[in-house]
Structures are given as structure tokens and as C-alpha cells.
């Protein structure tokens, strides 16, 4: 698998994992990822991310969103 395919595969895994972890729909996660440039972040950080587990990558994404003022847990009870 080439790097582009691996990056796409990781982005897809992160969408699914975020939806489960954050109690959001796939569409909501995709909307957040697009609006906040998370797909680009994953692509640019892939060199590091591919060495980490999915949970660690999702935590990095959550922190990235938090730095941009997005609290994905706001309103989640």
C-alpha cells in the first residue's frame, strides 16, 4: 500500500473511532474534520502518527481541535 492509501486508511479509521468515542455521527465527525482541517493535519503528521496506536492519534486530534477552540466533549453527558 502506498503512502496516500495508508493516509486515507488512517483518516477513515479516525472518523470511525472519533464517532464512537465522541458519541457523534459519522457525518458530524466528517463535518468537524473538514471544517477544522483535520484531514490535512493527519496527512502532514502521518510520519509520526503511523508509529502510534489509533487511540494516541485520536488524542492528538482531540488536542489539535482543543487548540482551535473546539471542545468535542461539550454537551456530551
Distance in angstroms (rounded) separating the CA atoms of residues 77 and 46 = 32
Query: Is position 32 within any domain?
Result: yes
Query: Is position 77 within any domain?
Result: no
Number of CB atoms found within 10 A of residue 14's CB: 23
Give residue 40's Cα distance to chain centre: 10
Query: Is position 8 within any domain?
Result: yes
Residue 48 belongs to what domain range?
3-67
Give residue 7's Cα distance to chain centre: 12
The per-residue pLDDT for 75 is: 53
Query: Is position 52 within any domain?
Result: yes
Query: Is position 72 within any domain?
Result: no
User: For residue range 47-73, what is the model confidence (pLDDT) as tens digits?
Assistant: 999 899 999 999 999 999 999 999 887
Using a pLDDT cut of 70, give the percent of the chain over it.
96
Q: The pTM is what?
A: 0.90
Looking at the 3D structure of the chain, how many domains does it have? 1
Average pLDDT over residues 7-20: 97
Query: Is position 59 within any domain?
Result: yes
Amino acid at each position: 500500500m502506498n503512502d496516500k492509501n495508508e493516509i486515507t486508511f488512517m483518516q477513515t479509521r479516525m472518523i470511525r473511532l472519533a464517532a464512537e468515542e465522541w458519541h457523534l455521527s459519522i457525518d458530524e465527525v466528517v463535518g468537524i474534520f473538514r471544517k477544522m482541517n483535520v484531514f490535512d493535519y493527519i496527512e502532514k503528521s502521518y510520519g509520526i502518527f503511523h508509529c502510534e496506536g489509533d487511540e494516541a492519534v485520536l488524542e492528538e486530534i482531540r488536542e489539535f481541535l482543543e487548540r482551535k477552540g473546539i471542545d468535542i466533549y461539550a454537551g456530551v453527558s
